[in-house]
Chains A and B, each alone.
Chain A
Amino acid sequence: MSDTTRVFRSAELLERHQYISELAELNRIAENWSTLDREAHVIEFPIRRPTGEPVVLCQQAGSIVTVIARADDADLVALREAAHDLDKDRIFSAYARLGNRVVAAADRAMSIDLGTVHGIVDVVYGDRIIIRNAVVDAETGFNIFQLSFDGGDVDVTAFRVVEHQVRDGAEPLTALLLVKPRELSPIEREAERLSPPRATGDTITPAPRASFIDAVANVAENVGHGAVKAAEVYGCAVRFNIAQQQQAAGVEAQQGVEHVDQRVGGEVTAEMTAEEVAEVGLVGMRSVIAMAGSGTTIAPGASVDDLLAYRASLLSR
Protein backbone atom coordinates (compact mmCIF):
# COMPACT_ATOMS: atom_id res chain seq x y z
CA MET A 1 0.00 0.00 0.00
CA SER A 2 1.41 3.35 -1.02
CA ASP A 3 1.58 6.36 1.22
CA THR A 4 -1.00 8.11 -0.90
CA THR A 5 -3.47 5.30 -0.40
CA ARG A 6 -2.95 5.41 3.32
CA VAL A 7 -3.63 9.10 3.33
CA PHE A 8 -7.00 8.67 1.72
CA ARG A 9 -7.94 5.67 3.81
CA SER A 10 -7.19 7.48 7.04
CA ALA A 11 -8.90 10.58 5.77
CA GLU A 12 -12.23 8.84 5.91
CA LEU A 13 -11.97 8.72 9.69
CA LEU A 14 -11.16 12.38 10.14
CA GLU A 15 -13.81 14.61 8.76
CA ARG A 16 -15.22 17.97 9.61
CA HIS A 17 -17.58 20.30 7.85
CA GLN A 18 -17.12 23.95 7.32
CA TYR A 19 -19.36 26.35 5.49
CA ILE A 20 -17.77 28.83 3.17
CA SER A 21 -18.72 32.28 4.32
CA GLU A 22 -16.98 33.95 1.43
CA LEU A 23 -19.43 32.48 -1.02
CA ALA A 24 -22.12 34.84 0.11
CA GLU A 25 -20.58 37.23 -2.36
CA LEU A 26 -20.37 34.71 -5.15
CA ASN A 27 -23.41 35.79 -7.11
CA ARG A 28 -22.47 39.42 -6.89
CA ILE A 29 -19.08 38.56 -8.27
CA ALA A 30 -20.65 36.46 -10.98
CA GLU A 31 -22.93 39.27 -12.03
CA ASN A 32 -20.13 41.77 -12.29
CA TRP A 33 -17.21 39.69 -13.35
CA SER A 34 -17.97 39.94 -17.02
CA THR A 35 -17.80 43.71 -16.75
CA LEU A 36 -14.18 43.34 -15.79
CA ASP A 37 -13.14 41.75 -19.01
CA ARG A 38 -16.04 41.71 -21.37
CA GLU A 39 -14.00 41.60 -24.54
CA ALA A 40 -11.51 38.91 -23.70
CA HIS A 41 -12.46 35.30 -24.12
CA VAL A 42 -10.03 34.29 -21.42
CA ILE A 43 -8.28 36.20 -18.75
CA GLU A 44 -4.57 35.66 -18.95
CA PHE A 45 -2.14 35.88 -16.10
CA PRO A 46 1.40 36.07 -17.32
CA ILE A 47 3.77 34.59 -14.79
CA ARG A 48 7.35 33.43 -14.95
CA ARG A 49 8.95 30.19 -14.06
CA PRO A 50 12.18 30.38 -12.05
CA THR A 51 13.99 29.49 -15.26
CA GLY A 52 12.59 32.61 -16.88
CA GLU A 53 10.28 30.72 -19.21
CA PRO A 54 6.98 32.60 -19.54
CA VAL A 55 3.82 30.68 -18.69
CA VAL A 56 0.26 31.74 -19.16
CA LEU A 57 -2.42 30.97 -16.64
CA CYS A 58 -5.92 31.57 -17.91
CA GLN A 59 -9.48 31.36 -16.79
CA GLN A 60 -11.82 30.34 -19.53
CA ALA A 61 -15.10 32.15 -19.94
CA GLY A 62 -17.81 29.89 -18.58
CA SER A 63 -15.77 28.42 -15.78
CA ILE A 64 -15.40 28.49 -12.03
CA VAL A 65 -11.91 28.64 -10.60
CA THR A 66 -11.75 27.25 -7.09
CA VAL A 67 -8.85 28.22 -4.87
CA ILE A 68 -8.44 26.01 -1.81
CA ALA A 69 -6.09 27.24 0.89
CA ARG A 70 -5.80 27.96 4.58
CA ALA A 71 -8.12 30.73 5.64
CA ASP A 72 -5.18 32.91 6.63
CA ASP A 73 -3.24 32.42 3.40
CA ALA A 74 -2.11 35.89 2.37
CA ASP A 75 -2.67 35.41 -1.35
CA LEU A 76 -6.12 33.92 -0.79
CA VAL A 77 -7.06 36.84 1.40
CA ALA A 78 -5.77 39.26 -1.21
CA LEU A 79 -7.65 37.52 -4.00
CA ARG A 80 -10.86 37.47 -1.99
CA GLU A 81 -10.64 41.15 -1.16
CA ALA A 82 -9.79 42.06 -4.73
CA ALA A 83 -12.72 40.02 -6.01
CA HIS A 84 -15.09 41.63 -3.56
CA ASP A 85 -13.87 45.05 -4.64
CA LEU A 86 -14.07 43.98 -8.30
CA ASP A 87 -10.58 45.36 -8.75
CA LYS A 88 -9.29 43.82 -11.95
CA ASP A 89 -5.65 44.76 -11.43
CA ARG A 90 -5.53 43.36 -7.91
CA ILE A 91 -7.27 40.16 -9.04
CA PHE A 92 -4.67 39.70 -11.77
CA SER A 93 -1.92 40.40 -9.33
CA ALA A 94 -3.25 37.87 -6.81
CA TYR A 95 -3.68 35.26 -9.52
CA ALA A 96 -0.16 35.87 -10.73
CA ARG A 97 1.25 35.34 -7.23
CA LEU A 98 -0.69 32.10 -6.88
CA GLY A 99 0.49 31.05 -10.31
CA ASN A 100 4.10 31.65 -9.37
CA ARG A 101 3.66 29.48 -6.32
CA VAL A 102 2.22 26.71 -8.48
CA VAL A 103 5.14 26.95 -10.86
CA ALA A 104 7.61 26.81 -8.02
CA ALA A 105 5.88 23.74 -6.59
CA ALA A 106 5.81 22.03 -9.97
CA ASP A 107 9.51 22.66 -10.45
CA ARG A 108 10.28 21.01 -7.14
CA ALA A 109 8.78 17.81 -8.57
CA MET A 110 7.46 16.96 -5.15
CA SER A 111 5.79 13.68 -4.32
CA ILE A 112 2.66 13.42 -2.26
CA ASP A 113 3.03 11.43 0.93
CA LEU A 114 2.02 11.74 4.54
CA GLY A 115 4.84 14.11 5.29
CA THR A 116 3.96 16.71 2.66
CA VAL A 117 0.17 16.56 2.70
CA HIS A 118 -1.09 19.64 4.42
CA GLY A 119 -4.76 18.88 4.02
CA ILE A 120 -7.31 17.03 1.91
CA VAL A 121 -10.69 18.47 1.06
CA ASP A 122 -13.83 17.74 -0.88
CA VAL A 123 -15.85 20.62 -2.25
CA VAL A 124 -19.51 19.72 -2.16
CA TYR A 125 -22.50 21.30 -3.89
CA GLY A 126 -25.77 20.09 -2.41
CA ASP A 127 -25.44 16.33 -2.26
CA ARG A 128 -22.81 16.12 -5.00
CA ILE A 129 -19.05 16.20 -4.61
CA ILE A 130 -17.74 18.51 -7.30
CA ILE A 131 -14.07 18.33 -6.29
CA ARG A 132 -12.95 15.15 -4.61
CA ASN A 133 -9.86 14.60 -2.49
CA ALA A 134 -8.11 17.83 -3.38
CA VAL A 135 -4.67 17.67 -1.83
CA VAL A 136 -3.11 20.77 -0.34
CA ASP A 137 0.55 20.06 0.15
CA ALA A 138 2.69 21.71 2.76
CA GLU A 139 5.04 23.34 0.29
CA THR A 140 2.49 25.04 -1.93
CA GLY A 141 -0.13 25.58 0.74
CA PHE A 142 -3.02 25.70 -1.68
CA ASN A 143 -4.57 24.10 -4.75
CA ILE A 144 -6.58 25.46 -7.66
CA PHE A 145 -9.22 23.72 -9.76
CA GLN A 146 -11.26 24.72 -12.74
CA LEU A 147 -14.86 23.66 -13.36
CA SER A 148 -16.94 24.29 -16.42
CA PHE A 149 -20.02 26.37 -15.74
CA ASP A 150 -22.51 27.77 -18.23
CA GLY A 151 -23.69 30.61 -16.06
CA GLY A 152 -26.83 31.22 -14.09
CA ASP A 153 -27.32 31.98 -10.41
CA VAL A 154 -25.63 29.57 -8.08
CA ASP A 155 -27.12 28.73 -4.70
CA VAL A 156 -24.28 29.93 -2.49
CA THR A 157 -25.67 28.15 0.55
CA ALA A 158 -25.31 24.79 -1.19
CA PHE A 159 -21.49 24.86 -1.18
CA ARG A 160 -19.55 23.14 1.57
CA VAL A 161 -15.93 22.28 2.09
CA VAL A 162 -15.30 18.96 3.78
CA GLU A 163 -11.82 18.85 5.21
CA HIS A 164 -10.10 15.55 5.90
CA GLN A 165 -6.82 14.86 7.68
CA VAL A 166 -7.20 17.78 10.04
CA ARG A 167 -4.03 18.79 11.81
CA ASP A 168 -4.14 20.08 15.34
CA GLY A 169 -4.05 23.84 15.59
CA ALA A 170 -4.08 24.37 11.82
CA GLU A 171 -6.23 27.07 10.33
CA PRO A 172 -9.22 25.51 8.58
CA LEU A 173 -9.02 25.07 4.84
CA THR A 174 -11.38 27.23 2.88
CA ALA A 175 -12.31 27.69 -0.74
CA LEU A 176 -12.81 30.78 -2.83
CA LEU A 177 -14.73 30.35 -6.06
CA LEU A 178 -14.40 32.85 -8.87
CA VAL A 179 -17.01 32.63 -11.57
CA LYS A 180 -16.42 33.94 -15.05
CA PRO A 181 -19.62 33.73 -17.07
CA ARG A 182 -19.35 33.46 -20.79
CA GLU A 183 -20.83 35.94 -23.21
CA LEU A 184 -24.09 34.64 -24.64
CA SER A 185 -24.59 34.58 -28.40
CA PRO A 186 -27.64 36.35 -29.89
CA ILE A 187 -29.47 33.03 -30.27
CA GLU A 188 -28.65 32.07 -26.67
CA ARG A 189 -30.01 35.41 -25.50
CA GLU A 190 -33.18 34.77 -27.48
CA ALA A 191 -33.45 31.36 -25.87
CA GLU A 192 -33.12 33.00 -22.44
CA ARG A 193 -35.90 35.38 -23.38
CA LEU A 194 -38.20 32.72 -24.79
CA SER A 195 -37.43 30.19 -22.11
CA PRO A 196 -36.37 31.95 -18.91
CA PRO A 197 -35.27 30.04 -15.82
CA ARG A 198 -38.79 30.00 -14.38
CA ALA A 199 -40.03 28.15 -17.47
CA THR A 200 -38.66 24.71 -16.83
CA GLY A 201 -41.37 22.43 -18.15
CA ASP A 202 -41.37 20.65 -21.46
CA THR A 203 -43.40 22.15 -24.25
CA ILE A 204 -44.09 21.94 -27.95
CA THR A 205 -45.07 24.65 -30.34
CA PRO A 206 -45.82 22.55 -33.39
CA ALA A 207 -43.94 23.53 -36.47
CA PRO A 208 -46.13 25.37 -39.01
CA ARG A 209 -48.31 23.06 -41.02
CA ALA A 210 -47.11 22.85 -44.55
CA SER A 211 -49.64 22.63 -47.33
CA PHE A 212 -49.02 18.95 -47.80
CA ILE A 213 -50.39 18.26 -44.31
CA ASP A 214 -53.73 19.54 -45.50
CA ALA A 215 -53.36 17.26 -48.47
CA VAL A 216 -52.83 14.36 -46.11
CA ALA A 217 -55.99 15.23 -44.21
CA ASN A 218 -58.03 15.53 -47.38
CA VAL A 219 -56.78 12.31 -48.83
CA ALA A 220 -57.28 10.41 -45.58
CA GLU A 221 -60.83 11.69 -45.40
CA ASN A 222 -61.59 10.80 -49.00
CA VAL A 223 -60.08 7.40 -49.33
CA GLY A 224 -61.88 6.02 -46.32
CA HIS A 225 -60.88 3.26 -44.03
CA GLY A 226 -60.60 0.54 -46.65
CA ALA A 227 -58.23 2.52 -48.80
CA VAL A 228 -56.24 3.46 -45.77
CA LYS A 229 -55.81 -0.19 -44.86
CA ALA A 230 -54.69 -0.90 -48.39
CA ALA A 231 -52.26 1.96 -48.25
CA GLU A 232 -50.98 0.65 -44.99
CA VAL A 233 -50.22 -2.77 -46.40
CA TYR A 234 -48.78 -1.22 -49.50
CA GLY A 235 -46.51 1.01 -47.51
CA CYS A 236 -45.30 -1.73 -45.24
CA ALA A 237 -44.71 -4.21 -48.03
CA VAL A 238 -42.84 -1.84 -50.23
CA ARG A 239 -41.04 0.35 -47.78
CA PHE A 240 -40.42 -1.78 -44.76
CA ASN A 241 -40.55 -5.29 -46.08
CA ILE A 242 -42.60 -6.48 -43.19
CA ALA A 243 -45.73 -7.39 -45.12
CA GLN A 244 -46.09 -10.75 -43.42
CA GLN A 245 -46.10 -9.27 -39.96
CA GLN A 246 -48.51 -6.60 -41.06
CA GLN A 247 -50.99 -8.98 -42.61
CA ALA A 248 -50.86 -11.34 -39.67
CA ALA A 249 -51.23 -8.84 -36.91
CA GLY A 250 -53.11 -6.00 -38.54
CA VAL A 251 -52.32 -2.59 -37.31
CA GLU A 252 -50.02 -3.08 -34.38
CA ALA A 253 -49.63 0.03 -32.34
CA GLN A 254 -46.01 -0.55 -31.61
CA GLN A 255 -45.27 -0.86 -35.31
CA GLY A 256 -46.55 2.64 -35.64
CA VAL A 257 -43.69 3.77 -33.47
CA GLU A 258 -41.25 1.79 -35.53
CA HIS A 259 -42.56 3.28 -38.75
CA VAL A 260 -42.21 6.79 -37.46
CA ASP A 261 -38.58 6.15 -36.86
CA GLN A 262 -37.92 4.41 -40.13
CA ARG A 263 -39.85 6.80 -42.25
CA VAL A 264 -37.58 9.65 -41.27
CA GLY A 265 -38.82 12.90 -42.61
CA GLY A 266 -42.25 11.69 -43.60
CA GLU A 267 -41.94 13.73 -46.75
CA VAL A 268 -44.95 14.05 -48.99
CA THR A 269 -44.60 15.25 -52.52
CA ALA A 270 -47.07 16.16 -55.18
CA GLU A 271 -45.93 13.19 -57.21
CA MET A 272 -46.99 10.66 -54.59
CA THR A 273 -50.07 8.56 -55.07
CA ALA A 274 -53.00 8.89 -52.72
CA GLU A 275 -52.02 5.64 -51.04
CA GLU A 276 -48.54 6.85 -50.39
CA VAL A 277 -49.76 10.10 -48.94
CA ALA A 278 -52.22 8.30 -46.72
CA GLU A 279 -49.51 5.94 -45.59
CA VAL A 280 -47.38 8.82 -44.43
CA GLY A 281 -50.35 10.29 -42.61
CA LEU A 282 -50.97 6.96 -40.94
CA VAL A 283 -47.48 6.88 -39.55
CA GLY A 284 -48.23 9.84 -37.35
CA MET A 285 -51.69 8.63 -36.41
CA ARG A 286 -50.53 5.19 -35.41
CA SER A 287 -47.80 6.65 -33.30
CA VAL A 288 -50.31 8.74 -31.40
CA ILE A 289 -52.46 5.67 -30.94
CA ALA A 290 -49.48 3.74 -29.67
CA MET A 291 -48.58 6.38 -27.13
CA ALA A 292 -52.13 7.05 -25.98
CA GLY A 293 -52.92 3.36 -25.72
CA SER A 294 -49.79 2.45 -23.87
CA GLY A 295 -51.45 3.11 -20.52
CA THR A 296 -48.21 4.11 -18.89
CA THR A 297 -46.32 7.33 -18.55
CA ILE A 298 -42.65 8.12 -18.45
CA ALA A 299 -41.37 9.12 -15.06
CA PRO A 300 -40.38 12.78 -14.89
CA GLY A 301 -36.64 13.26 -15.15
CA ALA A 302 -36.08 9.89 -16.76
CA SER A 303 -32.59 9.40 -18.09
CA VAL A 304 -31.78 8.43 -21.66
CA ASP A 305 -31.43 4.82 -20.57
CA ASP A 306 -34.89 4.98 -18.99
CA LEU A 307 -36.34 6.37 -22.22
CA LEU A 308 -34.75 3.60 -24.25
CA ALA A 309 -36.08 0.97 -21.86
CA TYR A 310 -39.55 2.45 -22.04
CA ARG A 311 -39.39 2.56 -25.80
CA ALA A 312 -38.26 -1.06 -25.91
CA SER A 313 -41.19 -2.07 -23.71
CA LEU A 314 -43.56 -0.32 -26.12
CA LEU A 315 -42.09 -2.11 -29.09
CA SER A 316 -42.22 -5.50 -27.42
CA ARG A 317 -45.94 -5.39 -26.70
Chain B
Amino acid sequence: MYTTAVIVVFAVWLLLTCLTQKEGPVNSAVRRWDPLSLLPRWTFFAPNPGTTDHHLLYRDRIDEHTLTHWREIPLSESRSLLGAFWNPGKRNKKALTDAANTLLLFTRTISLPGLKTTLPYIALMNYVSAIPRSHMSEATQFLVLDSFGYITETEPRLVVRSEFHALPARAFVAATPWDPLTAVAATTTALESLP
Protein backbone atom coordinates (compact mmCIF):
# COMPACT_ATOMS: atom_id res chain seq x y z
CA MET B 1 0.00 0.00 0.00
CA TYR B 2 2.68 2.46 1.10
CA THR B 3 4.84 1.47 -1.81
CA THR B 4 2.06 2.23 -4.24
CA ALA B 5 1.44 5.62 -2.62
CA VAL B 6 5.10 6.57 -2.88
CA ILE B 7 5.21 5.50 -6.50
CA VAL B 8 2.11 7.53 -7.28
CA VAL B 9 3.48 10.65 -5.54
CA PHE B 10 6.75 10.52 -7.41
CA ALA B 11 5.01 9.73 -10.68
CA VAL B 12 2.74 12.75 -10.31
CA TRP B 13 5.72 14.89 -9.35
CA LEU B 14 7.57 13.75 -12.46
CA LEU B 15 4.53 14.36 -14.65
CA LEU B 16 3.97 17.88 -13.30
CA THR B 17 7.64 18.64 -13.67
CA CYS B 18 7.49 17.65 -17.31
CA LEU B 19 4.34 19.73 -17.88
CA THR B 20 5.86 22.88 -16.43
CA GLN B 21 9.02 22.94 -18.51
CA LYS B 22 7.41 25.14 -21.17
CA GLU B 23 5.69 28.47 -20.82
CA GLY B 24 1.93 28.36 -21.28
CA PRO B 25 -1.41 28.17 -19.52
CA VAL B 26 -0.70 24.73 -18.11
CA ASN B 27 2.52 25.95 -16.55
CA SER B 28 0.79 28.98 -15.05
CA ALA B 29 -2.05 26.91 -13.67
CA VAL B 30 0.22 24.35 -12.06
CA ARG B 31 2.65 26.94 -10.68
CA ARG B 32 -0.19 28.64 -8.88
CA TRP B 33 -0.47 25.54 -6.68
CA ASP B 34 3.25 25.28 -6.08
CA PRO B 35 4.07 27.94 -3.47
CA LEU B 36 7.12 25.97 -2.27
CA SER B 37 8.59 25.77 -5.79
CA LEU B 38 8.85 22.01 -5.63
CA LEU B 39 8.69 21.74 -9.41
CA PRO B 40 12.13 22.41 -10.87
CA ARG B 41 12.69 23.92 -14.31
CA TRP B 42 15.40 23.04 -16.73
CA THR B 43 16.47 26.67 -16.77
CA PHE B 44 17.07 26.48 -13.02
CA PHE B 45 17.26 30.08 -11.75
CA ALA B 46 18.38 31.60 -15.02
CA PRO B 47 15.56 32.08 -17.47
CA ASN B 48 18.06 33.61 -19.87
CA PRO B 49 21.31 31.66 -19.51
CA GLY B 50 24.41 33.74 -20.05
CA THR B 51 25.99 33.29 -23.46
CA THR B 52 28.76 35.83 -23.19
CA ASP B 53 31.91 36.42 -21.16
CA HIS B 54 32.43 39.89 -19.78
CA HIS B 55 35.86 41.49 -19.84
CA LEU B 56 36.93 44.54 -17.90
CA LEU B 57 39.82 46.59 -19.25
CA TYR B 58 41.32 49.98 -18.55
CA ARG B 59 43.77 52.37 -20.11
CA ASP B 60 45.40 55.60 -18.99
CA ARG B 61 45.73 58.97 -20.60
CA ILE B 62 49.30 60.17 -20.43
CA ASP B 63 48.58 63.53 -22.00
CA GLU B 64 46.15 65.05 -24.46
CA HIS B 65 47.44 62.98 -27.38
CA THR B 66 48.84 59.90 -25.69
CA LEU B 67 47.04 56.85 -24.38
CA THR B 68 48.38 53.60 -23.05
CA HIS B 69 47.23 50.26 -24.37
CA TRP B 70 44.24 48.53 -22.85
CA ARG B 71 45.04 46.23 -19.95
CA GLU B 72 42.60 43.56 -18.87
CA ILE B 73 41.58 43.05 -15.28
CA PRO B 74 40.78 39.33 -15.11
CA LEU B 75 37.29 38.67 -13.79
CA SER B 76 38.05 34.99 -13.36
CA GLU B 77 41.14 33.07 -12.49
CA SER B 78 42.45 29.57 -12.80
CA ARG B 79 41.27 27.33 -10.00
CA SER B 80 43.41 25.17 -7.79
CA LEU B 81 42.61 22.54 -5.20
CA LEU B 82 43.74 24.93 -2.50
CA GLY B 83 41.11 27.38 -3.68
CA ALA B 84 38.41 25.15 -2.24
CA PHE B 85 39.77 25.89 1.23
CA TRP B 86 41.45 29.29 0.96
CA ASN B 87 40.49 31.71 -1.77
CA PRO B 88 40.37 35.27 -0.43
CA GLY B 89 40.67 36.73 -3.93
CA LYS B 90 37.29 35.28 -4.80
CA ARG B 91 35.44 38.11 -3.07
CA ASN B 92 37.34 40.66 -5.06
CA LYS B 93 36.52 38.96 -8.35
CA LYS B 94 32.90 38.45 -7.34
CA ALA B 95 32.46 42.13 -6.54
CA LEU B 96 33.99 43.12 -9.87
CA THR B 97 31.86 40.62 -11.77
CA ASP B 98 28.68 41.76 -10.06
CA ALA B 99 29.49 45.40 -10.73
CA ALA B 100 30.16 44.70 -14.40
CA ASN B 101 26.98 42.63 -14.77
CA THR B 102 24.88 45.27 -13.08
CA LEU B 103 26.38 48.01 -15.18
CA LEU B 104 25.46 46.09 -18.32
CA LEU B 105 21.89 45.74 -17.11
CA PHE B 106 21.72 49.47 -16.51
CA THR B 107 22.84 50.21 -20.06
CA ARG B 108 19.44 49.01 -21.26
CA THR B 109 17.54 51.70 -19.45
CA ILE B 110 19.89 54.46 -18.39
CA SER B 111 21.61 57.00 -20.58
CA LEU B 112 25.32 57.63 -20.32
CA PRO B 113 25.12 60.74 -18.11
CA GLY B 114 22.91 58.86 -15.71
CA LEU B 115 25.15 55.83 -15.78
CA LYS B 116 27.99 57.82 -14.27
CA THR B 117 26.17 58.24 -10.98
CA THR B 118 25.26 54.61 -10.51
CA LEU B 119 27.14 52.61 -7.93
CA PRO B 120 28.53 49.95 -10.30
CA TYR B 121 30.01 52.62 -12.56
CA ILE B 122 31.57 54.45 -9.63
CA ALA B 123 32.72 51.20 -8.04
CA LEU B 124 34.47 50.05 -11.21
CA MET B 125 36.01 53.45 -11.76
CA ASN B 126 37.15 53.55 -8.14
CA TYR B 127 38.79 50.15 -8.46
CA VAL B 128 40.50 51.02 -11.72
CA SER B 129 41.62 54.39 -10.39
CA ALA B 130 43.25 52.84 -7.34
CA ILE B 131 45.50 50.47 -9.27
CA PRO B 132 49.11 51.57 -8.67
CA ARG B 133 50.63 53.34 -11.66
CA SER B 134 53.38 55.79 -12.48
CA HIS B 135 53.01 59.55 -12.29
CA MET B 136 52.98 59.71 -16.06
CA SER B 137 49.24 59.01 -16.11
CA GLU B 138 46.77 61.81 -15.57
CA ALA B 139 43.41 60.09 -16.12
CA THR B 140 41.96 56.65 -16.67
CA GLN B 141 39.10 55.00 -18.52
CA PHE B 142 37.52 51.55 -18.33
CA LEU B 143 35.88 49.38 -20.93
CA VAL B 144 33.51 46.43 -20.69
CA LEU B 145 33.76 44.02 -23.57
CA ASP B 146 31.63 40.98 -24.34
CA SER B 147 33.10 37.91 -25.97
CA PHE B 148 31.36 34.78 -27.11
CA GLY B 149 33.50 31.84 -26.09
CA TYR B 150 36.54 30.15 -27.53
CA ILE B 151 34.97 28.53 -30.58
CA THR B 152 32.86 31.20 -32.21
CA GLU B 153 32.69 33.30 -35.30
CA THR B 154 31.11 36.18 -33.44
CA GLU B 155 33.55 38.95 -32.72
CA PRO B 156 33.74 40.56 -29.30
CA ARG B 157 31.59 43.62 -28.89
CA LEU B 158 32.17 46.80 -26.97
CA VAL B 159 29.42 47.42 -24.45
CA VAL B 160 30.47 50.29 -22.23
CA ARG B 161 33.41 52.63 -22.52
CA SER B 162 33.59 55.14 -19.71
CA GLU B 163 34.87 58.63 -20.12
CA PHE B 164 38.27 59.58 -18.78
CA HIS B 165 38.29 60.41 -15.10
CA ALA B 166 41.05 62.17 -13.20
CA LEU B 167 43.22 59.93 -11.06
CA PRO B 168 43.29 60.38 -7.30
CA ALA B 169 46.60 60.98 -5.58
CA ARG B 170 46.54 57.52 -4.01
CA ALA B 171 46.89 55.88 -7.42
CA PHE B 172 50.46 56.97 -7.89
CA VAL B 173 53.56 55.14 -6.78
CA ALA B 174 57.06 56.50 -6.80
CA ALA B 175 59.53 55.16 -9.29
CA THR B 176 61.52 52.37 -7.72
CA PRO B 177 65.30 52.47 -7.68
CA TRP B 178 66.43 49.67 -9.90
CA ASP B 179 69.26 47.94 -8.16
CA PRO B 180 69.89 44.23 -8.35
CA LEU B 181 68.82 43.64 -4.80
CA THR B 182 65.43 45.21 -5.27
CA ALA B 183 64.77 44.71 -8.94
CA VAL B 184 63.43 41.20 -8.61
CA ALA B 185 61.47 42.07 -5.48
CA ALA B 186 60.07 45.18 -7.15
CA THR B 187 59.07 43.18 -10.17
CA THR B 188 57.39 40.58 -8.01
CA THR B 189 55.58 43.27 -6.06
CA ALA B 190 54.46 44.97 -9.24
CA LEU B 191 53.12 41.70 -10.59
CA GLU B 192 51.32 40.94 -7.36
CA SER B 193 49.80 44.40 -7.27
CA LEU B 194 48.18 43.84 -10.63
CA PRO B 195 44.53 43.00 -10.33
Instruction: Tell me the A residues contacting B by CB distance below 8 Å.
Output: 42, 47, 49, 55-58, 60, 63-66, 99, 102-103, 105-106, 123, 125-126, 128-132, 134, 143-155, 158, 181-182, 184-185, 187-188, 190-192, 194-195, 197, 199-207, 209-213, 257, 260-261, 264-266, 269-271, 283-285, 287-288, 290-292, 297-298, 300-308, 310-311, 314
Contacts and interface: CB of A to CB of B under 8 A. Distances in A.
A164 B117 CA distance: 45
B104 A207 contact: yes
B48 A211 contact: yes
B179 A106 contact: yes
Interface in B63-104: 63, 65-72, 98, 101-102, 104
- Please report whether the interface of chain A is mostly helix, strand, loop or mixed according to DSSP: mixed
A185 B132 CA distance: 20
B178 interface: yes
A302 B165 contact: yes
Given A188-B57, A300-B163, A300-B164, 14 more contacts: A56-B180, A125-B62, A131-B174, A144-B179, A187-B72, A190-B145, A204-B115, A207-B105, A269-B47, A291-B117, A301-B165, A302-B166, A303-B129, A304-B125
Contacts of B121: 307
Contacts of B31: 271
A197 B161 CA distance: 13
A311 to B, nearest CB: 4
B132 A148 contact: yes
Contacts of A197: 67
16 contacts: A55-B181, A57-B180, A65-B178, A144-B177, A144-B179, A153-B66, A154-B66, A181-B69, A187-B72, A191-B145, A204-B160, A205-B107, A288-B114, A298-B116, A305-B168, A314-B117
Contacts of B167: 303
A216 B59 CA distance: 36
B70 A58 contact: no
Contacts of B136: 125, 128, 130, 147, 149
Contacts of B71: 150, 188
A195 B134 CA distance: 23
B101 A145 contact: no
Interface string B5-21: 00000000000000000
Contacts of A49: 180
A192 B71 CA distance: 10
Contact of B155 (A146, A190, A260, A301): A190
Contacts of A106: 179-181
- Please report whether the interface of chain B is mostly helix, strand, loop or mixed according to DSSP: mixed
Contacts of A192: 69-70
Nearest to A124: B135
Contact of A148 (B133, B138, B146, B160): B133
A180 B72 CA distance: 18
A130 B135 contact: yes
Contacts of B61: 200
Given A195-B70, A205-B158, A143 B108 contact: no
A206 B107 contact: yes
A202 B110 contact: no
Interface string B121-161: 11001100100111110110101011100000001111111
Given A148-B133, A203-B112, A307-B116, A60 B187 contact: yes
A58 B106 CA distance: 44
Nearest to A303: B166
